[in-house]
């Protein structure tokens, strides 16, 4: 998260930018700070209300689950 924090520190309004990154950088805390799209490691979800990994694996290729805080730009 520190790497991303340093990168967005130069932006005047980081919440108005959309970031894309992989699960190496994604965490619940980071996604609460910025508008972002990325995959998350199961160990970093902090019990957010998403479908369990075992159930997702049973779905068709390309299936995804998502969470939104209600603010979409």
Question: Could you tell me the residue ranges of all domains in the chain?
Answer: 2-57
Rounding to the nearest 10 degrees, give the CA dihedral for residues 46, 50, 54, 60: -140
pLDDT tens for each residue of 10-68: 888 877 777 777 777 777 777 767 767 767 777 777 777 888 889 989 999 989 888 77
Taking residues 5-12, report their average pLDDT: 82
| Angle, CA 57 vertex, CA 51 and CA 72 arms, to 5° | 40
pLDDT category at 72 given cuts 50, 70, 90 is low
- pLDDT in the model for residue 61: 93
Q: What is the rounded CA–CA span in Å between residue 26 and residue 37? A: 9
Distance CA 35, CA 16 (A): 7
Read off φ and ψ for residue 44, nearest 5 degrees: -110, 15
How many alpha carbons fall within 13 Å on the CB side of residue 22? Answer: 1
């Amino acid at each position: 998260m520190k790497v991303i924090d340093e990168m967005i520190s130069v932006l005047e309004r980081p919440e108005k930018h959309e970031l894309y990154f992989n699960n190496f950088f994604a965490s619940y805390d980071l996604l609460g700070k910025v508008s972002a799209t990325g995959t998350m490691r199961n160990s970093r979800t902090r019990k957010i209300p998403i479908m369990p990994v075992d159930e997702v694996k049973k779905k068709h290729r390309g299936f995804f689950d998502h969470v939104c805080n209600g603010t979409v730009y």
